[in-house]
């Protein structure tokens, strides 16, 4: 029953579990013979997908260069399972060899340090200046500083592990050092943050690990938000039934201080908490290229009147509303869609199709659709899911959820867990292969 609901949700956009390749935003009438230079910055979920589909759909006339400092992209998706030993970071590594060999994307290993929107060039960390007709930025996120006190050595132990890599390994070691008498504290930042279900997923897999491997323990979630930000039914059940002896969920817990010497977290009104491990996820902002370029790219208003830290874009093309010929995708952009890898992949296809049209003087699709699906391990063998399909609304000029909005599974099951493995394989193949 649940599986059928999920497949129906995906089927609404032609997206099957095994048929990602020709999925969302598939242009049926893209012009042949588009020409131009597109520079893509950031080889993550958004940047790699847009580079691939510009060549796949646009043909050899579009010269595509991808600039990314790392030889291997380490997927954040599934990185919570590295913490509990069910995956390794190596297993989550994806390289750019297919992008070059199969699609003819030029991959440059460097960072972009500066953009000249008038001369339409980008300057790389190696000093090279590359020209563009269209620039696509998908640099992901950066973090605001935490209110952290303590010795330098102790402060270094407070990690977020919200960008898979060295911090993931460090947090794994900290969790392994716990006993059943210990407490794991996790702080959830105010929205918007990447992967809305991600913190609650992490709490579940850590709780499951502590129960299975250590015979017990405590997980305290200090959420700066007033309520669960995703899958309220699934996580509500997971916290109150599946992991009820381990997880305590505290909403409205805005962090005012973290003392790394005494390992205590102080909140505005929810009290003070002490733990053996503190996994503090800081408030998010767009990658430095957006917030520090001096070009006004971070022009979208933030929640509650707070100045924004993400890029305003036209969701028909993902072109910046501040700087022409510059497009911003994925977590760095401010849209009504979640900050997630699946949606970054879908946004990238809308953007690729639009750029092909813009380079050839054609008409951009005025009714794009995107889809976000997310599977969440609740235990070592069960998972839940959510899915939402977005359609462009010409009145608000935003992507609006279709139908009943977000659909979530009715239960965490082993069948969902198997589907989760297939979903991940297909999403990553659609992005990197």
Ligand X SMILES: Cc1cc2nc3c(=O)[nH]c(=O)nc-3n(C[C@H](O)[C@H](O)[C@H](O)COP(=O)(O)OP(=O)(O)OC[C@H]3O[C@@H](n4cnc5c(N)ncnc54)[C@H](O)[C@@H]3O)c2cc1C
Based on the number of CB atoms within 10 Å of its own CB, is 98 exposed (0-12), middle (13-18) or buried (19 or more)?
Answer: middle
Residue 311 touching ligand X (CB under 6 A): no
Residue 80's contacts (CB-CB under 8 Å, 6 or more residues apart) are 198, 201, 202, 205, 377
Stretch that binds ligand X, among 30-38, 75-83, 232-240, 378-386 (CB under 6 A): 75-83
CA nearest neighbour of 328 among 49, 68, 137: 137
Q: Which of 27, 117, 140, 196 binds ligand X (CB under 6 A)?
A: 140
Print the binding letters for residues 322-341 with ligand X: x by CB under 6 A, - otherwise.
--------xxx------xxx
Residue 162 touching ligand X (CB under 6 A): yes
CB of 302 to ligand X, least distance (A): 18
CB of 126 to ligand X, least distance (A): 11
State which residue, 34 or 387, has the beta carbon closest to ligand X.
387
Q: Which of 139, 196, 275, 368 binds ligand X (CB under 6 A)?
A: 139
d(CA 299, CA 290): 9
Q: For residues 340-369, which are near ligand X according to CB under 6 A? A: 340-342, 344
CB of 222 to ligand X, least distance (A): 17
Shortest Cβ contact with ligand X: which residue?
44
CB of 14 to ligand X, least distance (A): 18
Q: Which of 6, 24, 53, 68 binds ligand X (CB under 6 A)?
A: 68
Stretch that binds ligand X, among 24-32, 38-46, 217-225, 357-365 (CB under 6 A): 38-46
Query: Is the separation of the CB atoms in 351 and 327 below 8 Å?
Result: yes
Stretch that binds ligand X, among 136-144, 147-155, 234-242, 358-366 (CB under 6 A): 136-144
User: Strand 121-124 to strand 129-131: parallel, antiparallel, or no bridges (unpaired)?
Assistant: antiparallel
d(CA 146, CA 341): 25
Residue 426 touching ligand X (CB under 6 A): no
Residue 189 touching ligand X (CB under 6 A): no
Residue 234 touching ligand X (CB under 6 A): no
DSSP string, 220-272: EEEESSSS-SS-HHHHHHIIIIITTTTEEEESS--EEEEETTTTEEEESSS-E
Query: Is the separation of the CB atoms in 25 and 53 below 8 Å?
Result: no
Residue 387 touching ligand X (CB under 6 A): no
Beta bridge partners of 390: 370, 401
DSSP string, 377-421: ESSSS-EEEEEEEEEEETTTTEEEE-TTS-EE-SS-BHHHHHHHH
How many residues bind to ligand X according to rule CB under 6 A? 36
Positive/negative CA dihedral, 271, 272, 278, 283: positive
Residue 76 touching ligand X (CB under 6 A): yes
Residue 287 touching ligand X (CB under 6 A): yes
Instruction: Give the residue carrying structure tokens 């993550």.
Output: 44
Instruction: Give the residue carrying structure tokens 């999920």.
Output: 6
Where along the sequence are the contacts to ligand X (CB under 6 A)?
Answer: 41-47, 67-70, 73, 76-77, 79-80, 111-112, 138-140, 162, 194-195, 198, 287, 289, 330-332, 339-342, 344, 374
């Amino acid at each position: 029953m649940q599986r059928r609901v999920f497949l129906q949700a995906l089927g609404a956009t032609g997206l099957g579990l095994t048929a990602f390749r020709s999925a969302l935003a598939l242009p049926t009438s893209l012009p042949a013979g588009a020409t131009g230079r597109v520079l893509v910055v950031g080889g993550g979920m958004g940047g790699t997908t847009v580079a691939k589909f510009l060549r796949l759909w646009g043909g050899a006339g579009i010269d595509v260069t991808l600039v990314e400092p790392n030889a291997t992209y380490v997927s954040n998706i599934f990185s919570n399972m590295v913490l509990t030993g069910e995956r390794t970071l190596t297993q989550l590594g994806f390289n750019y060899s297919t992008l070059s060999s199969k699609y003819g994307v030029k991959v440059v290993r460097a960072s972009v340090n500066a953009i000249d929107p008038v001369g339409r060039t980008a300057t790389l960390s190696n000093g090279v200046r590359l020209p563009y007709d269209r620039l696509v930025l998908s640099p992901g996120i950066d973090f605001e500083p935490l209110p952290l006190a303590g010795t330098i050595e102790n402060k270094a132990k407070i990690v977020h592990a919200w960008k898979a890599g060295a911090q993931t390994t460090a947090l794994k070691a900290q969790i392994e050092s716990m006993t059943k008498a210990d407490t794991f504290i996790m702080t959830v930042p105010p929205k918007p943050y990447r992967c809305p279900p991600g913190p609650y997923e992490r709490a579940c897999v850590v709780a499951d690990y502590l129960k299975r491997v250590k015979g017990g323990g405590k997980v305290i979630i200090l959420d700066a938000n007033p309520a669960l930000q995703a899958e309220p039914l699934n996580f509500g059940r997971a916290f109150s039934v599946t992991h009820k002896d381990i997880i305590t969920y505290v909403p409205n817990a805005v962090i005012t201080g973290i003392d790394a010497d005494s390992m205590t977290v102080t909140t505005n009104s929810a009290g003070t908490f002490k733990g053996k491990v503190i996994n503090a996820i800081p408030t998010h902002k767009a990658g430095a290229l957006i917030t520090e370029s001096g070009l006004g790219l971070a022009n979208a208003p933030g929640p509650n009147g707070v100045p924004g830290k993400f890029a305003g874009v036209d969701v028909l093309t993902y072109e910046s509303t501040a700087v022409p010929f510059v497009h911003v995708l994925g977590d760095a952009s401010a849209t009504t869609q979640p900050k997630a890898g699946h949606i970054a992949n879908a946004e990238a296809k809308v953007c690729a199709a639009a750029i092909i049209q813009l380079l050839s003087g054609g008409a951009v699709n005025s009714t794009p659709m995107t889809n976000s699906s997310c599977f969440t391990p609740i235990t070592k063998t069960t998972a839940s899911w959510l899915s939402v399909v977005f359609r462009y609304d010409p009145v608000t000029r935003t992507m609006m959820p279709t139908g009943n909005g977000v659909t979530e599974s009715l239960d965490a099951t082993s069948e969902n867990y198997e589907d989760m493995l297939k979903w991940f394989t297909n999403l990553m193949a659609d992005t990197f292969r």
